[in-house]
Amino acid sequence: MTKPHLHFIVPGDIDTPTGGYGYDRKIAAGLRELGWTVDIVSLSGSYPDTDTETRLAAEATLALLPNDALVLVDGLAFARLPDLVARHAGRLRLAALIHHPLADEGGLPAQTAALFEADEREALRHAAAIICTSETTGRRLADYFGVSSSHLHIAPPGTSRKSLLTDKRSRTRLLCVASIVPRKGHDVLIRALALIADLDWTARFIGPSRDGEWRARLDQMIADAGLENRIDFAGPLNDLDPEYTQAGIFVLATRHEGYGMAYAEALAAGLPVVGCAVGAVPEVVPPEAGALVPADDPTIFAEELRRLLTDDATYQDAAEGARLAAERLPRWSDTTAIVARALTESGR
């Protein structure tokens, strides 16, 4: 039997330390473990804000792929290249990996959001298979973008079970893992933390700062609240296990998530969670694992965090809820099997 061969196209460097690229890396590795040949094809240029040079580079890259090649394109690129996708759909077996629709990023100018939505809607028409990372995103693609159920496959991210080093854990050590961008709601989190400045806590913000102006705004908010010695921007880290195992509570005031891999990893580490009931987060975090509150409401966020920090019974119940929820989460082998099946069907 011929070994399946996949060309996996990603914008930029697949080793970029974000949840989306982490998913891509896990899928590539999992398919190789199943016996697939997986070639990572990196697109140069700027995504999702594509320019002429970026589009020309993508055109040159796709033109080099052999006829009838099986190609999986990360949605960050796929959604912004509708004309290119349409031209190559007849000769390539194109599949799209959608983490969430680009227009759902939040904070986008209305004109930009409308352009992203129109491009993605057109591009998806030409995909032989569409793989997305949550039921919520799947419903959005079906109900709003008109994606046929026969083309849609749901492959939630897997998790890796972590050893729970409880002797190193401190309830007052708060952990946030997310790229430092407006959608992730660090501004809301900082406001919430300012409201509980009377309590004993420190916070670690793990993730790359991809927007210098936004980071500067957050730094100013922290300074204005007098929290410089309590909130630490640690940047991106390759090994997050020590962070998850030493933290006491996971906090993320995100405005939208196509899935929420960091939430899942927190549950896998047995961490109580305070987050936001947006996007696919309620699929991942059950009520008994902490609290999900409305987005952009630092007051309610602070109230729930205060309860976990001050009430022993509430904290222990949430920690147990997190551990039980972790047992229901998929493993990466489950995710890879779904992706492999979707890609195989798209090649028929």
Q: Are residues 228 and 246 in the same domain?
A: yes
CATH number for the domain that contains residue 93: 3.40.50.2000
pLDDT value of residue 315: 96
Cis peptide before 48 (omega within 30 of 0): yes
Per-residue pLDDT of the chain (348 residues; tens, 9 = 90+): 578 999 999 999 999 888 899 999 999 999 999 999 999 999 999 999 999 999 999 999 999 999 999 999 999 999 999 999 999 999 999 999 999 999 988 778 899 999 999 999 999 999 999 999 999 999 999 999 999 988 999 999 998 766 554 556 789 999 999 999 999 999 999 999 999 999 999 999 999 997 889 999 999 999 999 999 999 999 999 888 889 989 999 999 999 998 889 999 999 999 999 999 999 999 999 999 999 999 999 999 999 999 999 999 999 999 999 999 999 999 999 999 999 999 998 755
Contact 153, 191 (CB under 8 A): no
Determine the residue type at 235.
G
In the chain, the N- to C-terminal Cα span, in Å, equals 15
Q: Which pLDDT belongs to residue 238?
A: 83
What pLDDT is recorded for position 232? Answer: 97
In the block, tokens 């995100």 appear at: 254
Residue labelled with tokens 């100018």: 109
Q: Could you report the per-residue pLDDT of 252-272, keeping only the tens digit for each?
A: 999 999 888 999 999 999 999
Examine the domain organization and report whether 176 and 47 are in the same domain. Answer: no
Residue 141 lies in domain: 5-158+331-346
Are 19 and 47 members of one domain?
Answer: yes
- Judge if 59 and 98 occupy the same domain: yes
Q: Which pLDDT score is estimated for 162?
A: 61
27 & 144 share domain: yes
Domain count, the chain: 2
pLDDT of residue 223: 98
Q: Are residues 141 and 272 in the same domain?
A: no
Taking a C-beta distance cutoff of 8 angstroms, is the pair 159, 329 a contact? yes
